[in-house]
Structures are given as structure tokens and as C-alpha cells.
């Protein structure tokens, strides 16, 4: 109301020139066809002054007026006379004449009812029309509240307390008889039901008719919005998108299916239902997280895939939780049934190394012909851990990568489908984080179709205890995704919304949600007793006829199929299952390799092994280094003004290159640049990575004079280089790391890096690290070369770092070499070593996650620089950097050998220098913590036989590497020499925020490091 008043206040008289136009002249060019309010409105002065024209009615009258300008016959005769008189200059109040008896001109074909009753007042006429418009809008906005979505009829959605449902109390209170009461609320009465009302342009219920009797309007609205489909879309800001949806659901006859379509749907329901029944018959005491109660999920997914294939999609990447996964593998992805059945055999031996995973977590990849469209389609289901929704960003990342590698810039050929449970969708924050990636340029997959298996329960918890929003899907509203709720016991309604969802994605390339409101026939798994906790719900479920049976009976009654045909369809599929079951008995060995979601053709030998077990030198020739260095210190675009401070940085880089040196940023530049030139795509993502949190990187230059004009010099290295992607991410760790992990899954020929803003923040992404990165290869034989850059270092600012203790203790057995470990952990102390380890990541003949503890203060440390000589051909990554100073002259005289890693090395060296102890204390750096360089460390300890061995770290004793390295150092010395600890005491917090305290602590540990009798008498 307030908004309408405001609009009315903006009404202004027509200009003289507009006044001069005759009523039948076309509308002024700047006034578009009756669509949506324009910022400036024009209206005749006399009309604006009409006594009945108030804020409420002005919109309506205005719309009529434009319509009349276009075609005087398009409005009621009384309005025609009124506008003629008004335009002819009739004074306010005099333009109106009582309407003539209404003829048939307003009535659409087939409408026999009387139109607007005899001689109503104009005010009543306008108000009634407005009431009808409001009524239509009410259905569009809130029709889903009264739609019959719940197959059990015990709907647990409570709109009463929900802020999103203002006014819905009324609708709910008339749930039983909305037709009789809703229109009354808007001031209409019984007598109005047979009056004909003009339909606004914001509805399509009329089909070809522009006016309908109120009774018919209500009936059509009820049909469109209040049956088995509840459409939630009116929160969408884009008018075209709203119109598109209205059209899809309001147009009369939209939900009609051909006989063929109905038969196909029945056959799909047969497969879905009988598959679960077959498993239940054969393995009644096995957990399988069956789909019973939501069997229409299978036709739902198949419809989305068919429609998308019809629209040009060739590759669909899916992620889903446990519920119905085996059914999806069998009937959507079409994994061979015997391969699924044999997994129930407890005697099946694993052929692959690693721990494997349960059958309802494994992934799959299958390329086949889509039978409906006769086009090729590749379907993959990404393997996932138990952690609900954790796979969401991974699927998105993989999808983005597949789009990237096939040049699918708009997502027309590759798409993702994500399945969710109702409790997890509402409860898991990663869902929200993933939605927020959906429209970001470097993360969008151009629309995901989300399907929620909304069985109205999560394990044993009711929705009223599991979420604070009416629907489990409300999280999707943040990205303006339309939400189609549908009663999953109506397979045709399900298929209809899935078709619309797929078309939506193909049209707007934005996310969309299908909420399958269903039930769970069994307990959480097949062994659980649901009556313990949901007795009434399950009494109802026990009474519930299966959806297949209901649908089959419907089609038999309609004459679409005969009972015999239906039964034949069932026996046909049962036979397929039985035959596969017989074959499954021959399977003796489980090959997890056959369950890979992302095979890398050509990267391995045919039996999945690395093609070699060697790594070439990671060095580069001098000319390459110079070339890349030149680009790193230049602005390769014309007329591009960079910030003065940045000019100085680039000059500094040029000077360094001149003197054949690199700092941290240049070392990274050399690694990325050279890989790009070798055709390897490099993608660096994370918070503020473009500039670098510590303002050292500057991979994206910003023109100081032209808004949003940027330049990425790394993409100007050579004409045939691979593209470089560097992207500031949303402020999410879990979502973004998951995304990059997914990106890295798609191809082995890319260096994909995620940088945490500060190392500690990686624990927000712990689930991805613990569940995918650390055990991924062991669980799913899936390799991944993702690189995690975790800046760390104690600088007296309450930062860092218990991260090392968590990561380092997840390392695999130390004696294994790179190929066998679960991930590689390094802490480089020189730019050259950082350069080498990045290049090695790609030059290795296999892929392994790499975690790099990167520095903060070393980014600008005058000594943390490397010469070109350390990066030339023949050089390589140094797993350990031995002490090569004066201690080497007389190793026997060395009293202490300090092992350390990372930045503390520079503090130790400085202290040693100041104390003049270069001959007596050796300092060696362990650069690769995992796999631990036993061979090199042993050589170093053997070299200094008289030295005490100490481990020095700046972290607190319980937080750094000590507990990890101590047993390993002892192993290298055959337990013969004690390993002394130099560092801070244990502490609960990672670091002090007090600079002075920090310096005192640091000095104390340095004192211990160089006090040669510090450990005397200790055991």
C-alpha cells in the first residue's frame, strides 16, 4: 500500500506534446508496453485529479490507460468513455459516465458468465480489480503454503512464526476452503465470483484470454499454485525470471504428458522401486540407506539429465549423500548391477592398496548415450566421505574445471547436480558457503540444479527441532534461486518441475532447487527402528501406499497401460537384477579403481601405475629466468597507470633480476611462469591472493585512472602459454578449499593452489583436509595434486600456529617415499626451494597433495633471497639444507647440531653470528617434513659425531613439529643420541599477542640454543 501511494504521488500530467496525441496514437516511445512500473510516469491532468484516484487505484488505472492508448477496445467500454472524456478535457468528476450494459466483447471464448454487475460505482470497480490483482499476487507469493506437498498429510512446516510469511496466517486458516474465504479477505463477495475481471500482465492463467470470471481465476490459481507443486519464486529480483516461472506454471494445460512420456515415467518408477526391493530381498540385514518413500528421485534426476542433454549438456557432475546412492548409481549413472551387488559380499577382496570406503560413498564415472536424446553424455558421481554436504564445493570445483578445460565459458556443455537431505541442507554451513560461490566470476558453474530428498526427518530428529526456517531450502533464497517444492508421491508433478528446473538452468544459468517432499519408509538405515522416536509419523507411513503402486493404478485407470503390461515391466526388471546377481557371484575382487570419479586418461599406465618413478631436474635455464623476471617487473599493457608504490616494487624486482637474484614473490613467479609456458594451467585462489595478504605478490595490476581495468602480467609470458587464473575468493575456507580440491581433481596437468589468509584459518576447512586431502588416495585411489599455501610464523601478533601439529601428525609412515605418502609437507626457507617444490609438483609422474608452510617476514627478509645459480638446470628441491658454513671445515669440533625448519633458521644464524659460534654450532634446515628425509638427516648427524643434537622451533612445545620430528630424529641415530628440545614451553593458546613477551620468549629460546651446557645433567 505504501509503495502504491508513493507511485501515485509521482504521477505527473502529460506534456503538451503528449496531450496533442490522439488516443489511438501509439504510446510514447519512452513508455514501454504495460510491463512494470517505470521511474517516471505520465498521466493526463484531468485524470490525475479524479476524485476516485487514490494511491491504491492509480497503478491499476494507469495500466488501463496505457492499454487504452494502445487499443481503446482492450478496456471496458466505461473506461473507454472515461478516457476519451478525460482526454477531451472533461473537468474532474465529469469524465465518468455510468457504464453501458456490458456486451460480450470482454468475454473470452467459452465464457458465458455475466461480466461486472450493473452500474457499480467506479470506485468499487477499481477496487474489485485491484482486489483481484492482489489475490493473484497472493497466490503467486504464498500459494505454496497451502499446496498439498506432503504425501503423508502431516505437514510439519510451520509458517505461523516465520517472518517470511507475513499474511500467511490468513491463507493457512482457510486451508480447508481457500476458495470460499481468500477473496473475501480482499473485499470481494459472493456476487463477484461470476464477474469477469481483466487479468494483469503479471499472470498467464488466462492463456489466450485477457479476462476471466473471478471463480475461474481462483480455480486456475489453485490449480497452478496449490496442488502438488509449491513454487517459491516471488523473492527473485529479476522481473523476466519471475515472468518466465509464472508462465511455466500458470499457462493452462502446461502439465500434460503424452502417453509415451507416462509409460517412460512408469518404467523408471519400476526400476527405482524394484531395485530397492531387490536389495531388501537379498540383503535384508545390510545397511544401504534405501530410497523407499522417495522413489521418484530416479525419474527426477533422469528428467533433469534428459532435458539438459537436449539443451546441449554433455557432461554432468553429481554429488550426493548416502540416501538412494546405490539406486542412483544403478539407474541414473548405470553402473553395472553386478558391480554393485558384489559389494554386499563380505568375502570380496580389495585389489587396490588403501583402506577403501563403504559402498554408498564411492564415486563413479560413465560415458554413454542418452537414450532419450541419442546424444553422448558423461555422468560422474563424486566420491564423498560421511560428512554431509562436504562434497558440494568439490563438485562445483570439478565442474568449473571441466568447463574450463573444454572451453565452456557459459556452462552450456558441463553442469552439476547436487543432491541433499533436508536436515543437512538446512543445517550444514557449507551449503551456504557453496551457494555464495555460485555467482562469482572465477567460481560460477553457471547454475546448479539442487535436488533435496526432503523426507521430513534427519536421522531421529524432526524438522521443528532441526531448523528455524519453514522449509529446509530457505538457504537457497540468498542467491535468488527459485525453489520448486513438489509432492514426491506425484511422479508427474515431480517430472514436470524437474523439466522446468533444467530449462531454468539452461535459460538463466543460475541455481535452482527442487524440493522433493517425501517420507522415509524405513528407519535412518534399514536396521533402525523409527517408531522409537516418530511413532505417529510412522503409523502414517505404514499405511502409505507405495508411489509406484499408486501411479501404476492411475495409469491403468487412465488406460495408458494395462495391468499385464505393468506386471511385465516389473518382471523384466526383476529378471535383469536376478541375472546380474548371478554374475556378481563370480566377482572375487573389488577394484576401487573401477569406482573412480575422475579418471585421468593417458596420465598413468593402463593398469593405473605412474609411467616412471623419477623426477627430472626442476631447474630452468638463465634465459627463461630472465624472461619471466622481466614480465614480473613490467606492465605489459599500453597506457596503463599503476600505483607509484607498485612502480617502486616492480623496479626493485627488475634490479633483483639484474643481479641474478630472486625473493619469495619472484621465486613463485618463476615457478608459475615456467609451468604456464610449459602448457600447465596454474590457478591460485584464496582470500586476497591477487595482491597477496602481505602485499608481496601483485599478480593483478589495477589501472589507477580507469575503474576496474586490470592487467595480469603472468598472462603475457608467451603466445602459446597456458592461461593463468588468479582469483580473490569469497571469505570462506571450507567452501573454497573444497572447490579448489574439486578443480584439481579434473586434470593432472594443472597446478591448483589454495592459499589460506593466515595458516591458522585452514582449520575452518578442516573437513576438506581430514576427509578428502589426507585420506583421499587411500579411500578412493584418487590422486590429487592440490597445493595448500599456509602462511605462518611467530611475529608477536597473536598469530599461528597449532596448525603444524594437526597437519604434521596426519602424515603417513615416514619411511615411505613420495609416492607412498598421503601428502607432502614442506616448510621452505629459501625462494629457490619454494620455486623447486612448486615445479616438482607437476614434474612428478604422479600427483600428491602438497602443503607448504609459507612465511610472512621472510617475504621481505634481506637474507631470504636466492641466486639464479640455485635455480639453473640440474638443480632441484632440497629436502634438507645442510650446514655448509665453517662447521664443515672441522666437523669433529662441532659441539651442537641444531635441526630446525623455516623462518627460525634466520634467527638462529643471526644469533650464532653475534655470538661468534660459527665453528661450534651447526644449523641444518629440514625443508621437507613429510616424507621425512631420513637419509639426509642421517648423513648430517653422522657428519657431526661429537655434536649434541637439538631440535629448535619457535612454536610452543605442544604445537609445532617437535613431537613429530623427535622420534624420527631418534630413528636416524638408532636411538643412540638424545634429541634435545629448544623452544617455547607448552601453551594452550597458539601465540602471545604482546610484542615484548614475544621477544622475551624468543631470546630465551635463542639463549638455550647457544648455551652449550644448557642440557648438562638433563636426561
Site residues (vs ligand TPP, CB under 6 A) = 323, 386-388, 421-424, 453, 455, 457-459, 520, 524
Pick the closer one to ligand TPP by CB: 459 or 604.
Answer: 459
Q: How far is the CB of 323 from ligand TPP (least distance, A)?
A: 4
The distance of closest approach from Cβ of residue 160 to Mg ion in the complex, given in angstroms and rounded to an integer, is 23
From CA 313, how far away is CA 659, in angstroms rounded? 53
Nearer to Mg ion, 206 or 421 (CB): 421
902: partner contacted, choices ligand TPP, Mg ion, none (Cβ within 5-8 A by kind): none
The entry of Mg ion, ligand TPP, none that residue 779 binds, CB within 5 to 8 Å by partner kind: none
Contact partners, residue 622, CB within 8 Å, separation at least 6? 660, 868, 872
Cα dihedral sign for 76, 82, 85, 86? negative
Which of 7-15, 447-455, 673-681, 721-729 is the region at the interface with Mg ion (rule: CB under 5 A)? 447-455
Q: Is 433 in the site for Mg ion (CB under 5 A)?
A: no
* Residue the block writes with cell 510439519: 156
Cβ distance to ligand TPP smaller for residue 458 or 470: 458
Distance CA 643, CA 701 (A): 9
Q: How far is the CB of 403 from ligand TPP (least distance, A)?
A: 28
Shortest Å distance, C-beta 320 to ligand TPP: 10
Residue 361 CB, nearest distance to ligand TPP (Å)?
A: 10
CA–CA separation, 395 vs 438, rounded Å?
12
Residue 991 binding result from Mg ion, ligand TPP, none, given CB thresholds of 5 to 8 Å by partner type: none
Residue 828's binding partner out of ligand TPP, Mg ion, none, with CB under 5 to 8 Å set by partner kind: none
Residue 874's CB is within 10 A of a number of other CB atoms, namely: 7
Residue 227 or 434 having the CB closest to ligand TPP: 434
Nearer to ligand TPP by Cβ, of 524 and 896: the residue is 524
Give me the least distance between CB of 303 and Mg ion, in Å please.
22
CA 328 to chain centre: 21
Count Cα atoms within 13 angstroms, Cβ side, for 437.
Answer: 33
For ligand TPP, the closer CB: 113 or 533? 533
Is the Cα dihedral 283, 288, 291, 292 positive or negative? positive
Task: CB nearer to Mg ion: give 129 or 467.
Answer: 467
Residue 424 contact partner, candidates Mg ion, ligand TPP, none, CB within 5 to 8 A by sort of partner: ligand TPP
Which CB, 424 or 745, lies closer to ligand TPP? Answer: 424
| Nearest approach, Cβ of residue 174 and ligand TPP (Å) | 31
- In the complex, what is the shortest distance from the CB of residue 422 to Mg ion, in angstroms, rounded to a whole number? 4
Tell the smallest beta-carbon distance from residue 530 to ligand TPP (Å). 11
| CA 309 to chain CA mean position, Å | 22
Question: Measured from the CB of residue 729, what is the shortest distance to ligand TPP in angstroms?
Answer: 22
Nearer of residues 197 and 519 to Mg ion, judged by Cβ: 519
Distance (Å, whole) CA 416 – CA 398: 9
Instruction: In angstroms, give the least distance from the CB of 455 to Mg ion.
Output: 4
Say if CB 781 and CB 590 are below 8 A apart.
no
562 binds, among ligand TPP, Mg ion, none (CB under 5 to 8 A by kind): none
In the range 448-467, which residues lie near Mg ion by CB under 5 A?
Answer: 455, 458
Q: Which is nearer to Mg ion, 518 or 952 (CB)?
A: 518
Torsion angle of alpha carbons 142, 147, 153, 159, nearest 10°?
A: 0
Comparing CB distances to ligand TPP, the nearer of 414 and 457 is 457
CB of 454 to ligand TPP, least distance (A): 8
**C-alpha torsion 957→759→850→951, nearest 10:** -20
Q: How far is the CB of 143 from Mg ion (least distance, A)?
A: 25
Contact 657, 620 (CB under 8 A): no
Q: How far is the CB of 418 from ligand TPP (least distance, A)?
A: 13
Cis geometry, peptide bond prior to residue 292 (ω within 30 degrees of 0): no
| Nearest residue (CB) to ligand TPP, 128 versus 292 | 292
What DSSP string runs through 359-428? TTT--EEEEEEETTTTEEEEEEE----SSTTTHHHHHHHHHHHHHHHTT-TTSSSEEEEEEEEHHHHHH-
In the complex with Mg ion, the residue whose CB is nearer, 421 or 530, is 421
Beta bridge partners of 420: 452
User: From ligand TPP, Mg ion, none, which one binds at residue 547 (CB under 5 to 8 Å depending on kind)?
Assistant: none
**Contacted entry of Mg ion, ligand TPP, none for residue 323, CB cut-off 5 to 8 Å set by kind:** ligand TPP
Selection from 885, 887, 908 nearest residue 983 by Cα: 908
CA distance 207 to 336: 46
Smallest separation (angstroms) from ligand TPP to the CB of 3: 39
- Cell numbers 584464496 correspond to 686
Q: How many CB atoms lie within 10 A of CB 563?
A: 11
In this complex, which beta carbon is closest to Mg ion, that of residue 267 or of residue 466?
466
Give the strand pairing for 483-487 and 512-517: parallel
Own/partner pairs for 532-538, CB < 8 Å, 24+ apart?
532/460, 533/460, 534/457, 534/460, 534/462, 536/154, 537/152, 537/154, 537/456, 537/457
- If contact means CB under 5 to 8 A according to the sort of partner, which of Mg ion, ligand TPP, none does residue 628 touch? none
The residue among 459 and 761 lying less far from ligand TPP, judged by its C-beta, is: 459
Cβ atoms of residues 964 and 955 within 8 Å: no
Partner touching 459 among Mg ion, ligand TPP, none, CB below 5 to 8 Å by kind: ligand TPP
CB-based contacts of 912-919 (< 8 A; 24+ apart in sequence): 912/1010, 915/1010, 917/1010, 918/885, 918/886, 918/887, 919/886, 919/887, 919/889, 919/890, 919/893, 919/894
Q: Give the span between the Cα atoms of 198 and 205, in whole angstroms.
A: 11
- In 3D, which of 731, 767, 757 has the Cα closest to residue 437? 731
Give residues with Cβ within 8 angstroms of 888, minimum separation 6: none
Q: Which of the choices Mg ion, ligand TPP, none does residue 400 contact, using the CB cut-off of 5 to 8 A by kind?
A: none
Distance CA 753, CA 280 (A): 45
Nearest residue to ligand TPP, by Cβ distance, number only: 421
C-alpha distances in angstroms, 250 versus 221, 229, 437, 515, 761? 7, 12, 32, 19, 49
The Cα 102–Cα 125 span in angstroms is 13
- Stretch of 72-80, 422-430, 543-551, 823-831 lying at the interface with Mg ion (CB under 5 A): 422-430
| Cβ 136 to ligand TPP shortest distance, Å | 35
Q: Could you say which of ligand TPP, Mg ion, none residue 387 binds, taking C-beta under 5 to 8 angstroms by partner kind? A: ligand TPP
Candidates 319, 421, 447, 742; binder of Mg ion (CB under 5 A) is 421
Q: Nearer Cβ to ligand TPP, position 138 or 395?
A: 395
| Residue 388: contacted member of ligand TPP, Mg ion, none (CB under 5 to 8 Å, by partner type) | ligand TPP
Among positions 127, 422, 668, 755, the unique one binding Mg ion when judged by CB under 5 A: 422
53 binds, among ligand TPP, Mg ion, none (CB under 5 to 8 A by kind): none
Instruction: By CB under 5 A, name the binding residues for Mg ion.
Output: 421-423, 455, 458
Amino acid at each position: 500500500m505504501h509503495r502504491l501511494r508513493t507511485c501515485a504521488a509521482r504521477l505527473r500530467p502529460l506534456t503538451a506534446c503528449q496531450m496533442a496525441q490522439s488516443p489511438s496514437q501509439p504510446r510514447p516511445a519512452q513508455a514501454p508496453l504495460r510491463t512494470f512500473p517505470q521511474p517516471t510516469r505520465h498521466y493526463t491532468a484531468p485524470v490525475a485529479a479524479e476524485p476516485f484516484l487514490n494511491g491504491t487505484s492509480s497503478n491499476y488505472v494507469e495500466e488501463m490507460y496505457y492499454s487504452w492508448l494502445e487499443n481503446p477496445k482492450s478496456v471496458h467500454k466505461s473506461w473507454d468513455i472515461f478516457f476519451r472524456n478525460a482526454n477531451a478535457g472533461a473537468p474532474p468528476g465529469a469524465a465518468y459516465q455510468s457504464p453501458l450494459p456490458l456486451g460480450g466483447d470482454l468475454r473470452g471464448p467459452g465464457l458465458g458468465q455475466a461480466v461486472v454487475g450493473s452500474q457499480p460505482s467506479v470506485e468499487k470497480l477499481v477496487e474489485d480489480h485491484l482486489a483481484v490483482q492482489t489475490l493473484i499476487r497472493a497466490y503467486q507469493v504464498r500459494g505454496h503454503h497451502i499446496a498439498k506437498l506432503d504425501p503423508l498429510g502431516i505437514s510439519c512446516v510451520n509458517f505461523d512464526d516465520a517472518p517470511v510469511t507475513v499474511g500467511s496466517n490468513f491463507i493457512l486458516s482457510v486451508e480447508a476452503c481457500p476458495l470460499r474465504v481468500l477473496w473475501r479477505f480482499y473485499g470481494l463477495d459472493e456476487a463477484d465470483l461470476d464477474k469477469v475481471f481483466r487479468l494483469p500482465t503479471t499472470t498467464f492463467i488466462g492463456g489466450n484470454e485477457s479476462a476471466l470470471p473471478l471463480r475461474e481465476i481462483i480455480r486456475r490459481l489453485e490449480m497452478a499454485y496449490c496442488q502438488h507443486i509449491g513454487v517459491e519464486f516471488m523473492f527473485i529480483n529479476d522481473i523476466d525470471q519471475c515472468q518466465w516461472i509464472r508462465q511455466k506454471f500458470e499457462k493452462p494445460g502446461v502439465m500434460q504428458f503424452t502417453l509415451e512420456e507416462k509409460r517412460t515415467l512408469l518404467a523408471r518408477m519400476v526400476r527405482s522401486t524394484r531395485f530397492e526391493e531387490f536389495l531388501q530381498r537379498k540383503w535384508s540385514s545390510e545397511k544401504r540407506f534405501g530410497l523407499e518413500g522417495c522413489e521418484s528421485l530416479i525419474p527426477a534426476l533422469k528428467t533433469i539429465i534428459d532435458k539438459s542433454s537436449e539443451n546441449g549438456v554433455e557432461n554432468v557432475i553429481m554429488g550426493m549423500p548416502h540416501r538412494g546412492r546405490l539406486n542412483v548409481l544403478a539407474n541414473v549413472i548405470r553402473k553395472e548391477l553386478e558391480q554393485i551387488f558384489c559389494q554386499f559380499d563380505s568375502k570380496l577382496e580389495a585389489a587396490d592398496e588403501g583402506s577403501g570406503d563403504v559402498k554408498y560413498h564411492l564415486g563413479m564415472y560413465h560415458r554413454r548415450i542418452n537414450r532419450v536424446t541419442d546424444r553422448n553424455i558423461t555422468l560422474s558421481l563424486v566420491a564423498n566421505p560421511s560428512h554431509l554436504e562436504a562434497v558440494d564445493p568439490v563438485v562445483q570445483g570439478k565442474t568449473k574445471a571441466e568447463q574450463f578445460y573444454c572451453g565452456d565459458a557459459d556452462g552450456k556443455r558441463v553442469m552439476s547436480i547436487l543432491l541433499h537431505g533436508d536436515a543437512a541442507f538446512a543445517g550444514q554451513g557449507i551449503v551456504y558457503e557453496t551457494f555464495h560461490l555460485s555467482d562469482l566470476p572465477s567460481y560460477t558453474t553457471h547454475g546448479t540444479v539442487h535436488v533435496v530428498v526432503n523426507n521430513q526427518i534427519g536421522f531421529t530428529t524432526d524438522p521443528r527441532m532441526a531448523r528455524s526456517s519453514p522449509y529446509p531450502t530457505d538457504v537457497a533464497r540468498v542467491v535468488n534461486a527459485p525453489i520448486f517444492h513438489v509432492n514426491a508421491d506425484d511422479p508427474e508433478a515431480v517430472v514436470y518441475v524437474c523439466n522446468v528446473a533444467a530449462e531454468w538452468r539452461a535459460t538463466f544459468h543460475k541455481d535452482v532447487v527442487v524440493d522433493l517432499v517425501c517420507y522415509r519408509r524405513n528407519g535412518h538405515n534399514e536396521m533402525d527402528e523409527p517408531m522409537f522416536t516418530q511413532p505417529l509419523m510412522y503409523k502414517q507411513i505404514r499405511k502409505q501406499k507405495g508411489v509406484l503402486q499408486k501411479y501404476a493404478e492411475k495409469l491403468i485407470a487412465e488406460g495408458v497401460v494395462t495391468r499385464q503390461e505393468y506386471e511385465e515391466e516389473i518382471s523384466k526388471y526383476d529378471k535383469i537384477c536376478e541375472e546380474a546377481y548371478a554374475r556378481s557371484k563370480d566377482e572375487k575382487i573389488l577394484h576401487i579403481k573401477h569406482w573412480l570419479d575422475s579418471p585421468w586418461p593417458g596420465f598413468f599406465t593402463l593398469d593405473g601405475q605412474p609411467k616412471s618413478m623419477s623426477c627430472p631436474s626442476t631447474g630452468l635455464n638463465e634465459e627463461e629466468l630472465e624472461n619471466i623476471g622481466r614480465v614480473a617487473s613490467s606492465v605489459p599493457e599500453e597506457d596503463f597507470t599503476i600505483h607509484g608504490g607498485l612502480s617502486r616494487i616492480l623496479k626493485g624486482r627488475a634490479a633483483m633480476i639484474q643481479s641474478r637474484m630472486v625473493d619469495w614473490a619472484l621465486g613463485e613467479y618463476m615457478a608459475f611462469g615456467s609451468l604456464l609456458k610449459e602448457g600447465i594451467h596454474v590457478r591460485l585462489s584464496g582470500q586476497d591472493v591477487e595482491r597477496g595478504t602481505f602485499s608481496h605478490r601483485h599478480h593483478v595490476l589495477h589501472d589507477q585512472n580507469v575503474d576496474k581495468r586490470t592487467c595480469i602480467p603472468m598472462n603475457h609470458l608467451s603466445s602459446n602459454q597456458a592461461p593463468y587464473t588468479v582469483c580473490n575468493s569469497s571469505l570462506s575456507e571450507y567452501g573454497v578449499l573444497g572447490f579448489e580440491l574439486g578443480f584439481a581433481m579434473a586434470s593432472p596437468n594443472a597446478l591448483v593452489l589454495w592459499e589460506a589468509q593466515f595458516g591458522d584459518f585452514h582449520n575452518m576447512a578442516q573437513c576438506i583436509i581430514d576427509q578428502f586431502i589426507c585420506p583421499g588416495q587411500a579411500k578412493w585411489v584418487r590422486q590429487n595434486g592440490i597445493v595448500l599455501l599456509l602462511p605462518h610464523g611467530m611475529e608477536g601478533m597473536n598469530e599461528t600456529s597449532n596448525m603444524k601439529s594437526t597437519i604434521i601428525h596426519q602424515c603417513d609412515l615416514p619411511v615411505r617415499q613420495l609416492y607412498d605418502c598421503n601428502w607432502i609437507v614442506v616448510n621452505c626457507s629459501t625462494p629457490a626451494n619454494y620455486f623447486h617444490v612448486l615445479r616438482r609438483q607437476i614434474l612428478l609422474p604422479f600427483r600428491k597433495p602438497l602443503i607448504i608452510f609459507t612465511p610472512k617476514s621472510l617475504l621481505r627478509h634481506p637474507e631470504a633471497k636466492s641466486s639464479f645459480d640455485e635455480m639453473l638446470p640440474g638443480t632441484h628441491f632440497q629436502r634438507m639444507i645442510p650446514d655448509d658454513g665453517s662447521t664443515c671445515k672441522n666437523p669433529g669440533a662441532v659441539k651442537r647440531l641444531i635441526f630446525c625448519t623455516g623462518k627460525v633458521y634466520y634467527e638462529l644464524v643471526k644469533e650464532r653470528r653475534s655470538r661468534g659460534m660459527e665453528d661450534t654450532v651447526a644449523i641444518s634446515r629440514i625443508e621437507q617434513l613429510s616424507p621425512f628425509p631420513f637419509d639426509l638427516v642421517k648423513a648430517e648427524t653422522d657428519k657431526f659425531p661429537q655434536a649434541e643434537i637439538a631440535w629448535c622451533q619457535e612454536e610452543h612445545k605442544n604445537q609445532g613439529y617437535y613431537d613429530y620430528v623427535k622420534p624420527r630424529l631418534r630413528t636416524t641415530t638408532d636411538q643412540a643420541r638424545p634429541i634435545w628440545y629448544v623452544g617455547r614451553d607448552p601453551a594452550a593458546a597458539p601465540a602471545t599477542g604482546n610484542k615484548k613477551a614475544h621477544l622475551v620468549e624468543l631470546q630465551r629460546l635463542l639463549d638455550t640454543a647457544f648455551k652449550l651446557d644448557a642440557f648438562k645433567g638433563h636426561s
